[in-house]
Amino acid sequence: MVEALSIPVPFEPTGFVAALARQRGRPVELVPMSGRATHCGALVATDQADYIFYSASTTRLHQDHILLHEVCHLLCGHIGDTALDALPRLLLPNLSSDLVRRVLGRSDYTAAQEQEAELVASMIAQRARRRAGSTASPDVADGLARLGSVFDTP
């Protein structure tokens, strides 16, 4: 699946998400959440659009990974369930998570789905880094290749 994706160079997660939304013919809205409520993300699929909530109060690198993780739930077809673990803290931080969960119901991703989304997000990030390295000057590309060979296992 990852090899079939169009990975832009330079890689920018919000642009990647926008391109996927156009390709899917379905809007994906990115919703930054500020404050100390959470340092994670959530995906909410509705009839009109998909919404990815992510922490605006963490590092840019972490935000990018959150976006990739949540969009990977879409790519992997995990949209039948809505992850409600983080939503009470994100949307209604002054109410008890248990109260919100009782009102909204509870359906969350399985551990296998979380692992799959995490793995695919990491693979996309790795592919983006490899592609970015391929545009380097020959000297830099050679140095990166030699450095990479240090970590290859036989």
Residue type, 6: S
Domain positions in the chain = 13-119
- In 10 A of CB 120, how many CB atoms? 20
Q: Tell me if 51 sits within 8 A of 29, measured CB to CB.
A: yes
Residue type, 29: E
CA distance 50 to 38: 20
pLDDT digits (tens, 9 = 90+) for 43-97: 888 888 888 988 888 888 889 999 999 999 999 988 754 444 455 555 556 656 5
For residue 41, what are the β-bridge partners?
54
Q: Tell me if 13 sits within 8 A of 135, measured CB to CB.
A: no
pLDDT digits (tens, 9 = 90+) for 105-144: 444 567 888 899 999 999 999 988 887 765 555 665 566 5
